[in-house]
């Protein structure tokens, strides 16, 4: 089995916004814009699409922790090689929420209306992403079947202050020869609306972590895309007073057909090496369990064996044994896990059932 870990932190023709809940000043897109973009893409291979423009996530004073918008992306994505998303969060003179907050971006499935998490990040302490010219960078190519034509996006921040956070988000659509011409994606599990909407760790719960998956018969490659971040300071502490699940290092397992197949190590990422290194006086440098303040949360890729194509197989997400003694609150793992199927012939969406 092949396992990869994707993680990145970090011209243009504008196709703009159709509608947006929040503040946005982008120019409305037209068919002429898209046609011009397609022509120029043959020259520089990249089309830049601007979406949210200085939208605010905040709490109180009639403000909202999320903003939604409808945007126009290229209609034909079969010749798109990669899609990169860039999230800029400006915070001049420490005017934003000063805490490290859970945040993510979603795309809406046009058929089902369900929101799919395409990227998760943690805001830095006290500052924004100004040290990164384009902000945080996340590869969202796995969602290109949804990032086409008229598309709805949502950005959320678990902020509890009216100062909140202000974002601008844009996408680079890079034209070229993709690994496979067609792809489809569907969630296996999504317990990721906020840090406290994750899966409780070390205590009983009723959230479903067992699923059945059926891949389309013409699948040529399939894999799982999982994003995990741990929250809480529950006891008993690990050595060094490391509470769960923000600070305790654990190994998670995905079982396929009841066999432990993939492992996700929620360990140190090297937070002190973050290029956003001006988060004073925040506690940004110590290593968390699989995430860092001011960075994108890693995406973990687990490639499925081709022998699974055409039948139904079981999936189970499993945690390392540990029991919360209840003396210092709860521990949670916010998790989203998607299955992606690819082919050089038109492909239907994998089927996920309980």
Q: Tokens for 56, please give them.
A: 């605010």
Let me know: does 16 contact 153? Beta carbons within 8 Å.
Answer: no
DSSP calls for 204-224: ------EEEEE--TT-SEEEE
Let me know: does 222 contact 215? Beta carbons within 8 Å.
Answer: yes
- In this structure, what are the phi and psi dihedrals at residue 333, rounded to the nearest 5 degrees? -115, 115
Q: Tokens for 18, please give them.
A: 């159709």
CB-facing half-sphere around the CA of 288: CA atoms within 13 A: 24
Q: Tokens for 169, please give them.
A: 């988000």
Active site residues: 100, 158, 246
State CA 289 to chain mean position distance.
17
């Amino acid at each position: 089995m092949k396992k990869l870990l994707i993680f990145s932190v970090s011209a243009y023709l504008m196709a703009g916004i159709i509608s947006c809940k929040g503040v946005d000043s982008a120019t409305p897109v037209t068919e002429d814009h898209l046609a011009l973009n397609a022509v120029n893409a043959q020259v520089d291979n990249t089309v830049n699409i601007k979406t949210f423009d200085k939208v605010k996530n905040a709490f109180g004073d009639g403000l909202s922790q999320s903003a939604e918008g409808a945007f126009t992306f290229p209609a034909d994505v079969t010749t798109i090689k990669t899609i990169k998303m860039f999230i800029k969060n400006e915070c001049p003179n420490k005017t934003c929420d000063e805490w490290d907050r859970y945040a993510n971006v979603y795309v809406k499935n046009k058929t089902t209306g369900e929101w799919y998490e395409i990227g998760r990040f943690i805001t830095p302490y006290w500052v924004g992403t100004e040290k990164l010219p384009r902000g945080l960078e996340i590869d969202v190519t796995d969602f290109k079947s949804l990032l086409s034509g008229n598309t709805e996006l949502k950005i959320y921040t678990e902020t509890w202050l009216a100062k909140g956070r202000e974002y601008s988000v844009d996408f680079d659509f890079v034209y070229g020869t993709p690994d496979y011409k067609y792809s489809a994606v569907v969630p296996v599990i999504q317990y990721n609306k906020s840090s406290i909407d994750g899966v409780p760790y070390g205590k009983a719960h009723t959230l479903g972590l067992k699923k059945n998956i059926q891949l389309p018969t013409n699948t040529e490659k399939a894999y799982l895309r999982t994003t995990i971040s741990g929250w809480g300071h529950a006891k008993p502490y690990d050595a060094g007073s490391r509470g769960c699940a923000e600070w305790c290092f654990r190994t998670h397992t995905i079982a396929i057909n009841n066999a432990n197949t993939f492992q996700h190590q929620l360990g140190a990422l090297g937070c002190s090496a973050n290029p956003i290194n001006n988060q004073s006086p925040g506690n940004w440098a110590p290593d968390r369990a699989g995430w860092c303040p001011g960075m994108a949360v890693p995406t973990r890729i687990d490639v499925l064996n081709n022998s699974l194509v055409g039948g139904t197989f079981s999936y189970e997400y499993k945690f390392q044994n540990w029991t919360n003694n209840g003396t210092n609150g709860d521990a949670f793992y916010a998790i989203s896990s998607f299955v992606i199927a690819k082919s050089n012939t038109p492909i239907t969406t994998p089927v996920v059932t309980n």
